[in-house]
Amino acid sequence: MKAVLTRVSRASVAVDNQVVGEINCPDTCGLLALVGVARGDGENPSRVETMVRKIAELRILPDEESVESVDAPVLLVSQFTLQGRTAKGRRPSWSDAAPGDEAEPVIAAIAEGLRARGITVAEGRFGAMMRVSSVNEGPFTVLVDC
C-alpha cells in the first residue's frame, strides 16, 4: 500500500461536477491522503492498521504536529495509479494495483480506522472519475509505503 500525504489548507473532490468530499482548515492544516492499494493488501490487516497510524500520527503538520494531535481533517481518496510501475517501456503497468473489489474494502477500512480515532474524514467516491482540488501548504508532501 502506498500513500501520498499532502498538507493542505483546503481540498475537495468532485464527481460529475458535484463535490462529494471536502475539508477546509483556514486556521491550520489538514491532509489530502491519496492511497493506492496493492494486490494482497486486503489480506493483511496490519497494513491497514499501519496506514491508519501513519496518516493519524505522522508529525508532518506545522510545528511537528500530527492530524491526531491537532484534530485536523483528512480527505481520503483512492488512487490505484500509485501502484503503477514505470521501470520499463513508456506505459505504466497497473498489475500491482488491487482490483476494485479488493481495494474498496481496504479504503473503507482506512476511513473507518481514522474515524475510530476521532478524526474527521471526507472521502472521494471509489471507482469514479474524480476531480481533486487542493491548496497545498508549504508545499509539504510525503510518500508512505506500508
Among 50, 80, 83, 141, the one annotated catalytic = 80
Average pLDDT along the chain, 146 residues, taken 10 residues at a time: 97 97 91 97 94 97 95 97 93 94 97 98 95 94 94
What residues contact residue 72 under an 8 Å CB cut-off, 6+ apart?
A: 25, 28, 29, 30, 31, 61, 65, 119
What residues contact residue 18 under an 8 Å CB cut-off, 6+ apart?
A: none
The whole-number pLDDT of residue 139 equals 86
Among 18, 50, 81, 120, the one annotated catalytic = 81
Strand, helix or coil at 7? strand
Known catalytic residue: 50? Answer: no
The whole-number pLDDT of residue 28 equals 82
User: Grid coordinates in use for 4?
Assistant: 501520498
Among 79, 83, 120, 141, the one annotated catalytic = 79
Known catalytic residue: 80? Answer: yes
Known catalytic residue: 81? Answer: yes
Q: Which of 5, 6, 3 minimizes the C-alpha distance to 36?
A: 3
Distance (Å) of CA 93 to CA 10, 87, 89, 132, 141? 32, 9, 9, 23, 24
pLDDT digits over 102-112, tens only?
Answer: 999 999 999 99
